[in-house]
A and B are shown apart, each in its own frame.
Chain A
Amino acid sequence: MANGISNKSVVLSDIRKSYGGLEVIHGIDLTIEEGDFVVFVGPSGCGKSTLLRMIAGLEEVTEGEIAIKGRDVTDLDPSERGIAMVFQSYALYPHMSVSENLGFGLKMARTDPAEIERRVAQVSAILKIDHLLDRRPGQLSGGQRQRVAIGRAIVRKPDVFLFDEPLSNLDAELRVSMRIEIARLHRELGNTMVYVTHDQTEAMTLADQIVVLRDGRIEQAGSPRGVYEDPANMFVAGFIGSPRMNFLDAEWQGDGTIRVGEATLEAAIDGGSLKHGERLLLGVRPEHIAVAEPGPERITAQVEFSEYLGGTRYLYCQLEDGQSLVVEQRDGPDWQAGERLSFAVPEDRRRFFAEDGRRLR
């Protein structure tokens, strides 16, 4: 039991934040296990950065408690929390050389100069920036600056790393390589990392645990696979995945089937609470829809246009009642705009949502 407690790295209990009378974070409860890589995702304005900044101590907590490694840090100064943060804009000190940037935190903590030098050398070797130590941030490229910013975090040996959209200032290619770099660092250092991003690919590839936020509330927290394949509600289902999940209007038939346009589909949900003819939504991801022979279980739609992306192809279709449907295809013939196709949706890939967004199971 004692072991169980010490495994918790960051514990947020009923965290709230208000600006004046306006509450923007509405009671967040979250436990982050030691060594986990947790990613906060959500649309802009959902409070993910604010939450991270509250963990860092840069933003005051209106109510609730933050504990890091079992220690209540809610009212502690940022430097005393055992955290380090990497900012989107790098926030390097422009008037200091790279090695001074790396050693600044240790210097402020009155670390022995020889020890500072040793740790700076060690960190710069890990990040392969040892040849840049005498340069100023202004003389570095974006990727190099980001490495220095990460190095500045590592050198302090924090309990928790905080990343605030660290890659969004980099170009696409560099973003991929830095993403891999961060994953490698997490594997090597084994520290707890909390990472804020709006980029789904980053979230899916890096995270042990994804926390989806909306309007200052946690919508779902779980593994990337759990969040993707078993979304808790329509918001999560629509937010995670690109192109987003298709949502089609459907009607509950009362006998375990639903009606979508002309098609009748089996729906493996507990329909006890549903009335006959009640409206609900069928959610299907584009990659789970396949072109098939016509039949009663087939959804028919007209191809509007298609996007060819090399490995995959997206067909943008329209149902008879005007609803749009995106279908991903790996191979098969080219379809021309205007063609009418029948689509099959495997039964285990169907997700059902009530009109208010609740998941129906």
Chain B
Amino acid sequence: MRTRREIRARKALWDRIAYHGIGIGTAFFFLAPFAVSFLASFRPNSESGRPPLPPWPISGMSFDAYRALDSFGAGIWQHMFNSLLVSIGTVFLTVAVSVLAGYGFSRYRFPFKNALFVLIIATLMIPFQSILTPLFIILARLGLNNSLVGLMLVYVTLQLPFSVFMMRNAFDAVPKEIEEAARIDGARDLKLLVRVLLPLVMPGIATVSIFAFLNAWNEFFAALVLLSSNDNYTLPVLMTAVRAGRLGAINWGAVQAGVAVMVVPCLFVFLLLQRYYMRGLMAGAVK
């Protein structure tokens, strides 16, 4: 006859095994593609056409794929720089504009406030591919075609509706009294925004930053259409250009290497901001 204590201990053990087992299993499915891709990028050229399993290189590690990636266009570092410039620029511009806009929509009373807000949100419904031609023409008129700055401005524009919405919610969640207390304490205008409110809407800013960074980093179509010279290619465009191997074959090795290179900054940004990001998405869900 087992004591109740033993029964409880056994039950707790099984619970723990099930809990961690399911967790590890799920994590495996999420991590496997990364691992496969990353390992495959170290295959030598001769192996790159082999079936995907086993994913690791059989005849020793090689950096052939990375060399192939680097040999295209202006070199991987230049393209990496292009992508980073566009993405980080997009993040900063988006955050700067959406913080001010969100603050304005949240705190000030002005005519047609809600109509304007709905109008901004409504632009989310327009597929951006459909406005790519006019955008191209506008950029050409501004002398910004085939320029990374032009591409950055396009990304910022596409990113703004969601970001303004996000920042308005973030500012709405900050109690009015805190702002009033700060006004009594003598903080006004920009000082109030930077010293008191900005730290309180950090989760919103983190969310907006992550979205802006990932979207700009991964965006392919606009970059393909708006950038015409090889040297200006961002990484997604580089990837398609580099994919074409000899005689119409696909250079899988270079693609795998490109994927590995592209994933790293995304993971880095996400891991850096994810703590805030989670809180940002939850903001306003529960009082």
By a CB distance below 8 angstroms, the chain B residues around A91 are 175, 177-178, 180-181
Q: Do A87 and B186 form a contact, CB below 8 Å, given A93-B196, A94-B200, A108-B191? A: no
Interface size class of A (residues with CB under 8 A): 20 to 34
B-contacting 9-mer, from A78-86, A237-245, A276-284, A297-305: A78-86
Q: How far is the CA of A36 from the CA of B178 in the complex (A)?
A: 27
> Is A293 interfacial (CB 8 A cutoff)?
no
**Quick one: which of B182, B183, B184 has the most chain A CB within 10 A?**
B184
Among residues of B, the one whose C-beta sits closest to the C-beta of A83 is B184
By a CB distance below 8 angstroms, the chain A residues around B185 are 79, 104-105, 108, 152, 156
Contact A79 B200 (CB under 8 A): no
> Is B188 interfacial (CB 8 A cutoff)?
yes
Among residues of B, the one whose C-beta sits closest to the C-beta of A103 is B185
Q: How far is the CA of A58 from the CA of B181 in the complex (A)?
A: 10
Q: Do A87 and B180 form a contact, CB below 8 Å, given A104-B185, A108-B185? A: yes
Q: How far is the CA of A156 from the CA of B177 in the complex (A)?
A: 18
> Is A89 interfacial (CB 8 A cutoff)?
yes
Among residues of B, the one whose C-beta sits closest to the C-beta of A149 is B181
Among residues of A, the one whose C-beta sits closest to the C-beta of B183 is A78
By a CB distance below 8 angstroms, the chain B residues around A93 are 178, 181-182, 196
Main secondary structure of the interface of A (DSSP, over half): loop
Closest CB-CB distance, A37 to chain B, in whole Å? 20
> Is B187 interfacial (CB 8 A cutoff)?
yes
Contact B186 A105 (CB under 8 A): yes
Contact A85 B181 (CB under 8 A): yes
> Is B54 interfacial (CB 8 A cutoff)?
no
- Give the contacts of B128-184 with A (CB-CB under 8 A): 175, 177-178, 180-184
Q: How far is the CA of A77 from the CA of B192 in the complex (A)?
A: 14
> Is B127 interfacial (CB 8 A cutoff)?
no
By a CB distance below 8 angstroms, the chain A residues around B33 are none
> Is B199 interfacial (CB 8 A cutoff)?
yes
Closest CB-CB distance, A279 to chain B, in whole Å? 47
Chain B interface residues (CB < 8 Å from chain A): 175, 177-178, 180-188, 191, 196, 199-200
* 20 chain-A/chain-B pairs, Cβ below 8 angstroms: A57-B183, A57-B184, A58-B180, A58-B184, A77-B186, A77-B188, A78-B180, A79-B183, A85-B181, A87-B177, A87-B180, A89-B177, A90-B177, A91-B177, A91-B180, A93-B196, A104-B182, A104-B187, A108-B185, A108-B186
Q: Which 6 A-B pairs have the closest CB atoms?
A: A79-B186, A105-B185, A91-B177, A108-B186, A95-B199, A91-B181
